[in-house]
Structure 1
Amino acid sequence: MVRPQVPEGVHRSPRLRRAGAVLTSLSALIATSVLAGPAAAAGAGGPCDLERTGAHHSEGLDTWNSRYPRPVRSLDAVMVFLRFPDAKPKVTPRRLAADHTPATADFFEKSSYGRFRLRVHPRQNWITMPQASTAYAIQRDWNSGRRAAYLRDAIAVSDPRVDFSRYDIVYLVADPDAPGVDADATKVVNFERPIRADGTDLRRLVTVFEHHPPDRNVLAHETGHVFDLPDLYHRPEDTDNSGEWDTYVGDWDLMGSQFGLAPDPFGWHKWKLGWLDDRQVTCDRALGSRMYTLEPLGASMNGSRSGLDTRTRLVVVRTGPTTALAIEVRGRYGNDSRLCTEGVLVYRVRNDTASGDGPIQVLDGHPTSSACWSESVYPALADAPLGIGDSLAAKDDGVRVTVTGRATGGGWSIKVTRRELGS
């Protein structure tokens, strides 16, 4: 029997934490690992788009893992509301749906420059689970057998009322006030072998146990996993999980923290998902120095689709067989309207590092200072972007990035210098 993996889900910074389907045994279906999966063409490719590896949610993007839906079109999601015999819900499904939509769809609309639309279809009534909420022992690191029982029961009671064949994504939303519900258990559960319902394969389920109102951007984070994006936070090794979670990327990209001041996905992720075209990504390959003009990542495109706008939004420097440096401009646009520090952000990407192990690490342009202590999830990286005149040397990569000024029309001028390692 295949043992269940630890499902992926959001983290909560300690200082921000708030007090008939035909099924086989789900215990045997929940994967211990997620294989690389079949490939599908992802774009023109090139020397800078790291190859996809077998790492869970690999940051390689030369091909698309077709086990996951790619969000370059409209996708439909059903939102099912589950209550329990041991509790009377204090809020209605309509109120809970409003906690997440249209906010989640709006987030992706902005991030994708209109290339992706998430259409959420909330059910209007509660569906009652067969067991009390306490019977499932719901918690962050969930017992595999209890989690399997919850999923088995949820699909079984929902199937007579939901035609799963109509939807690309399934959100299972539990009554947040039931005594056995733990908000930290909000997760995406992946299956090694899909379960069948209404003639369709369910490869993963989003289990939502959020309080009302929920944590900011929590459903957008979980939906990112549905699109093969990794967790970017660092889970502490202390038994009580009280250490720092945000040392890898801080506020940058909601796959790190749902509370971040700059939750818009990294340009690397927008490229991976198909929201940036290859024409908007510049690959820096040669030794020596070159000048580039970068358009802010979050600024709106010329036209409704990114293909109509060919201005550079991302510069990538391939630094090794499994690594690359990515350079982008972050400003107070769209999802980043609460951004702490504007400027040129540099980060390292690894294609062989699994979700949760640090596949992306932000390089701090101001390592001796911090910013936004009252709001940032990790002030040490809140001022990571480079301003005009600043320079960052990634010595291990043989790369230096210097911001030389602002260009007409809002772009930022940068110089990238590459040298041979050891020279």
Structure 2
Amino acid sequence: MPRAQQPPEVDRHTLRRVAAVATSLSAVIATSVIAGPATASEVTLPCALARTDAHHSEGLDTWNRAYPRPARSLNAVMVFLSFPDSDPVADPAELAADYFPATSRFFERASYGRFTLRPAVQRRWVRMPQPSGSYGIRRDWDADRRGAYLRDAVAAADDTVDFSRYDVVYLVADPDAAGVDSDATKVVNLDRPLRADDADLRRFVTVFEQSPPDRNVLAHETGHVFDLPDLYHRPVDGKGDWDTYVGDWDLMGSQFGLAPDPFAWHKWKVGWLGDGQVACVALTGRRRAAVHTLRPLSAPMGPGDERRPRLLAVRTGPRSVLAVEARGAAGNDHGVCAEGVLVYRVRSETASGSGPVEVLDGHPGTEACWGTSVYPQLADAPLGEGESLDDTADGVRVQVYGRSSSGDWTVKVGRS
């Protein structure tokens, strides 16, 4: 995940709302990929995109069983690694407090209490056999050196950790060691698993953060463990804007975002939203438009909510949908810049980091929350009451009629 790019410190713009807004995005031509192995369908709705071979595909008709699904409690272990060239300054308990219970609470809120991440924090440093600089730790890590690091870490910790008991493994390096690069924090997936305690270890979250770490960094990396993609755009030369696809929306775009709660599409993918909370909008034949009541994504679950839509999805192609959800200043999104109805495009054939999700800007002529937003151009993307958006690429129009006293939004979706 990229480091923060701080915008200039200026006063926050006053948000301006207009009666109607239209925007268009050119269609992106992506290379087709072959669908994954056929299995019994897990999601039956017609707007459920099929999972493809794209890395962290946004298809959700079936679950990729190479990843643990966070629809139940999962156990995690946090191992702290020191090096012979540096005596740790911090205590493992101090570093653990940078991540927990905050990360578990993030997922508890995001999942409406349906998922619990249970960390087992090791209280002692585990000494690696080689100096920190010998592993060549960096963002784009040499595979052989990275493999040596993982093998050494598992071997060094095996006497005190029963790896067979855990679904998620966090390897936290001494942040003060000379060879540790804070930009290298990431999930490592192995084609050939390491073997320990009669268990195959296929992926690790390697943590190299300074203390305090980047906000929500562990939740972001843990999202990859659950098969969620990177939503940011990485410039070819590493310079420029990283957040042009989704801005502040969903922590898989930016861990610094003002609205880090996962998209409704992601909540549906991992099982936190059920089929009854998704409305597939069919705009075929004589059915040119439909009006829906949309429950805010961050609203607590209550009686009857399993049949109240929090996601509207319009199938726009074999591997694409236009998604509509309501975002508000509550839960993980308590610091959101602008509330309203958010519209975005999802493509199941587009790989992680290449733009599988794109937010459509409801106010392309304005920016908001300079000084706090990671990408002010999309900070005020949601539509407010009386506003509309035309997606000319797919011929779909989204109109927001109003909001009820209970907070629900009335949204019309039709042909433009």
TM-score normalised by the chain length of structure 1 = 0.89
The structure-2 alpha-carbon separation of the partners of 1:206 and 1:40, relative to structure 1 and needing over 3 Å to count, comes to farther
Tell me the CA shift for residue 149 of structure 1: 1.1
Is 1:11 aligned to 2:2, yes or no? yes
- SS at structure 1 position matched to 2:63: strand
Tell me the CA shift for residue 408 of structure 1: 3.7
Tell me the CA shift for residue 38 of structure 1: 6.0
Q: 1:6 corresponds to which residue?
A: none
Tell me the CA shift for residue 416 of structure 1: 0.5
Matches within 5 A, 1:93-172: 93-172=92-171
Residues 42 and 274 of structure 1 are in contact (CA less than 8 Å); yes or no, is this contact kept in structure 2? Answer: no
The one-letter amino acid of 1:84's match is: F
Mapped partners of 1:172, 1:88: distance in 2: 17
Deviations 1:182-208 (A, max 9, x none): 110001010113221101111101100
Residues 5 and 374 of structure 2 are in contact (CA less than 8 Å); yes or no, is this contact kept in structure 1? Answer: no
Mapped partners of 2:204, 2:154: distance in 1: 10
Deviations 1:353-395 (A, max 9, x none): 0000000000000000010001000000000000011110000
Is 1:388 aligned to 2:385, yes or no? yes
Which one of the candidate residues 404, 408, 412 is aligned to 1:407? 404
Residues 277 and 305 of structure 2 are in contact (CA less than 8 Å); yes or no, is this contact kept in structure 1? Answer: no
Q: Which runs of 5+ in 1 are unaligned?
A: 1-9, 17-34
Is 1:45 aligned to 2:36, yes or no? no
Residues 36 and 65 of structure 1 are in contact (CA less than 8 Å); yes or no, is this contact kept in structure 2? Answer: no
Q: 1:274 corresponds to which residue?
A: 271
Mapped partners of 2:39, 2:136: distance in 1: 39
- SS at structure 2 position matched to 1:76: strand
- SS at structure 2 position matched to 1:65: coil
Mapped partners of 2:135, 2:326: distance in 1: 45
Tell me the CA shift for residue 286 of structure 1: 2.5
The one-letter amino acid of 1:135's match is: S
- SS at structure 1 position matched to 2:265: helix
Structure 1 stretch displaced more, 270-279 or 285-294: 285-294
- SS at structure 1 position matched to 2:146: helix
Is 1:262 aligned to 2:253, yes or no? no
Deviations 1:266-288 (A, max 9, x none): 00000000000000000001341
Tell me the CA shift for residue 170 of structure 1: 0.3
Residues 186 and 208 of structure 1 are in contact (CA less than 8 Å); yes or no, is this contact kept in structure 2? Answer: yes
Residues 80 and 171 of structure 1 are in contact (CA less than 8 Å); yes or no, is this contact kept in structure 2? Answer: yes
Q: 1:73 corresponds to which residue?
A: 72
- SS at structure 1 position matched to 2:98: helix
Mapped partners of 2:139, 2:3: distance in 1: 11
- SS at structure 2 position matched to 1:64: coil
Residues 274 and 306 of structure 2 are in contact (CA less than 8 Å); yes or no, is this contact kept in structure 1? Answer: no
Mapped partners of 1:55, 1:398: distance in 2: 26
Larger relative CO (CA 8 A, sep 6+): 1 or 2? 2
Mapped partners of 1:291, 1:343: distance in 2: 16
Mapped partners of 1:42, 1:218: distance in 2: 33
Q: 1:4 corresponds to which residue?
A: none
Residues 39 and 66 of structure 1 are in contact (CA less than 8 Å); yes or no, is this contact kept in structure 2? Answer: no
Tell me the CA shift for residue 161 of structure 1: 1.1
Is 1:195 aligned to 2:186, yes or no? no
Mapped partners of 2:44, 2:113: distance in 1: 23
Mapped partners of 2:110, 2:42: distance in 1: 19
The structure-2 alpha-carbon separation of the partners of 1:11 and 1:88, relative to structure 1 and needing over 3 Å to count, comes to same
Q: 1:23 corresponds to which residue?
A: none
Tell me the CA shift for residue 289 of structure 1: 1.2
Q: Which runs of 5+ in 2 are unaligned?
A: 8-33
Q: How high is the sequence identity, in percent, across the aligned residues? A: 65
- SS at structure 1 position matched to 2:393: helix
Q: 1:30 corresponds to which residue?
A: none
Residues 107 and 335 of structure 1 are in contact (CA less than 8 Å); yes or no, is this contact kept in structure 2? Answer: yes
Deviations 1:280-337 (A, max 9, x none): 000001341110111100111005xxx8532110000000111100000000110000
The structure-2 alpha-carbon separation of the partners of 1:340 and 1:260, relative to structure 1 and needing over 3 Å to count, comes to same
The structure-2 alpha-carbon separation of the partners of 1:274 and 1:124, relative to structure 1 and needing over 3 Å to count, comes to same
Tell me the CA shift for residue 43 of structure 1: 3.5
Mapped partners of 2:242, 2:4: distance in 1: 7
The one-letter amino acid of 2:2's match is: H
Residues 39 and 65 of structure 1 are in contact (CA less than 8 Å); yes or no, is this contact kept in structure 2? Answer: no
Matches within 5 A, 1:223-242: 223-238=222-237, 241-242=238-239
CA RMSD of aligned residues (A): 1.6
Is 1:86 aligned to 2:85, yes or no? yes
- SS at structure 2 position matched to 1:202: strand
Mapped partners of 2:339, 2:311: distance in 1: 16
Deviations 1:226-267 (A, max 9, x none): 0000000000112xx121100000000000000000000000
- SS at structure 2 position matched to 1:123: strand
Mapped partners of 2:338, 2:109: distance in 1: 20
Is 1:252 aligned to 2:241, yes or no? no
The structure-2 alpha-carbon separation of the partners of 1:227 and 1:87, relative to structure 1 and needing over 3 Å to count, comes to same
- SS at structure 2 position matched to 1:47: coil
Structure 1 stretch displaced more, 37-46 or 322-331: 37-46
